[in-house]
Structure 1
Amino acid sequence: MQLDELDRSLLILLLERPRAGLREHARTLGVARGTVAARFLRLQEAGVISGLAPAVSPRAFGYSMLAFVHLDLRQGSLDAVVEALEAIPEVTEAFTVTGDGDLLCHVVARDTSELETVIQRIIEIPGVERTRSQIALTQRIPNRALPLIRSNRWATRPARPPQSAAT
């Protein structure tokens, strides 16, 4: 999708002031509310805006530990392992990766004992051959997109959407 300066300005406003309505963003941008609504919908449909849910911190309700768990998988077991991981609520994200390991999972836990229990559940999944884990000490840079949008370097070539592991 080719994005223009109005798209970029709208994305910056949405990230800087997520609680403001489209009407307020339209006033700030000096365009009609319908224009902003149409751009917003187009950005959603193209996958540029991927959600409207609040960002929830597991730490706020007791999950004070974050671990990165690398999984080595038996050939041909990726889809079944991912399906089994989805049944473990403490696995908050999983990525197929290059290099050492096949999957990288973000796992939250209340303490080291619970983390060990979660890792044991992961190890028991058919197709998981080995795990390696690292405990995150401090998040130094939160997940962010605003600096990318502000950089304006992204506008020179359209991005391709990420492909799922199933394709």
Structure 2
Amino acid sequence: MDRTDIRILQALQADGRLSNQRLAEVAGISPAACWRRVRALEESGVISGYAALLDRTRVKLNLCAFIHITLARHVRESTAPFEEAIRQRPEVMECFVTTGDADFILRVVTQSIESFDRFLEEFLFSIPQISQIKSNIALREVKLDTALPLDQGMAER
């Protein structure tokens, strides 16, 4: 990736609906060259998809929780079914395997504390691989960003 690719990616992260013409202007290249570069970035997996970003509170998903999960055993036979079960739940926005006190950290969004309680009771508490669950409820968002800091990646080259 070169500086032009970085400009294209930064522009698309800021506004994924930019026309190819406008994107080419921002990148300082011709529309045909811009289209080829975007296509190459998509095919290589650098651009993995496009999405509309929603304000979760405006769609009545008012509760955000971070759940720290410790598994009973750390073998593939127990982690694989757990990971698959997590992938199936739409409330789970993110799931990370971590070091430290927890094996996994989930970011979960639900409508309310009652719906969060149902998620815990009906889903998480029924997964046999889990030995411990700790939850933190977010009171407010200070920063929520989706754009990756591409300049940092370029500085290390």
Q: TM tier, shorter chain?
A: 0.7 to 0.9
Q: Is the 8 A contact 2:68 2:134 kept in 1?
A: yes
Query: What is the SS of the residue equivalent to 1:31?
Result: coil
Corresponding position of 2:104: 103
TM-score, length-scaled by structure 2: 0.86
2:126 to 107, 124, 127: 124
Instruction: Could you tell me which runs of 5 or more consecutive residues in structure 1 were left unpaired when the two chains were aligned.
Output: 159-167
Q: Residues 67-78 of structure 1: matches in 2 within 5 Å?
A: 67-75=65-73, 76=75, 77-78=78-79
Corresponding position of 1:137: 139
Q: Is the 8 A contact 1:70 1:131 kept in 2?
A: yes
**CA–CA distance in 2 between the matches of 1:90 and 1:113?**
14
In the alignment, residue 34 of structure 1 is paired with which amino acid? A
**CA–CA distance in 1 between the matches of 2:128 and 2:55?**
30
**Is the aligned partner of 1:154 residue 2:153?**
yes
TM-score, length-scaled by structure 1: 0.82
In the alignment, residue 32 of structure 2 is paired with which amino acid? G
1:35 to 12, 33, 36: 33
Q: Which digits, 9 at most, give the CA deviation of each residue in 1:53-105, with x for residues without a partner?
A: 21234322211000001111122211101111233322222111110111111
Query: What is the SS of the residue equivalent to 1:139?
Result: coil
**CA–CA distance in 2 between the matches of 1:13 and 1:92?**
24
Instruction: Could you tell me which runs of 5 or more consecutive residues in structure 2 were left unpaired when the two chains were aligned.
Output: none
How far 1:41 moved relative to its partner?
Answer: 1.8
Corresponding position of 2:56: 58
How far 1:119 moved relative to its partner?
Answer: 1.4
Q: Is the 8 A contact 1:72 1:129 kept in 2?
A: yes
Q: Is the 8 A contact 2:66 2:105 kept in 1?
A: yes
Q: Is the 8 A contact 2:42 2:48 kept in 1?
A: yes
2:21 to 20, 23, 28: 23
Q: How many residues in Structure 1 have an aligned counterpart in Structure 2? A: 153
Structure 1 stretches of at least 4 aligned residues deviating more than 4 Å after TM superposition: none
Corresponding position of 1:165: none
**CA–CA distance in 2 between the matches of 1:66 and 1:99?**
22
**CA–CA distance in 2 between the matches of 1:34 and 1:23?**
9
Q: Is the 8 A contact 1:123 1:129 kept in 2?
A: no
Q: Is the 8 A contact 1:123 1:130 kept in 2?
A: no
